[in-house]
Amino acid sequence: MTDMSEEGTFWVSIAEKFFGVLLTIIGALFLYYTVTSTTALGGFTAFFGFLSIVFLAVGLFLLLVKPPE
């Protein structure tokens, strides 16, 4: 028989990995489009580059961190 807290930890872990993958994909796409369209962005290239790196870092952090048990 499983404890309710063990079952809750399982779903939290799954949700954390899902959002980690989602943020990593969004961050990578964001970084790709920022790098390929620097002329269209003009002075905002650094701003969007920074935001894409933040998305990528948070996504990777969520993938690598292990939830407390």
How many domains are contained in the chain? 1
Amino acid at 59: G
Range of the domain at 18: 4-64
Q: What is the mean pLDDT of residues 52-57?
A: 95
69 belongs to a structural domain: no
- Higher-confidence residue: 67 or 58? 58
- Higher-confidence residue: 68 or 17? 17
Q: Distance from CA of residue 19 to its chain's centroid?
A: 6
35 belongs to a structural domain: yes
Q: What is the pLDDT of residue 3?
A: 55
Q: What is the pLDDT of residue 18?
A: 93
2-47: per-residue pLDDT in tens? 555 666 778 888 888 999 999 999 999 999 999 999 888 888 999 9
The C-alpha angle 18, 22, 28, rounded to 5 degrees, equals: 145
Pair of tokens at residue 58: 């948070």
Q: What is the pLDDT of residue 9?
A: 79
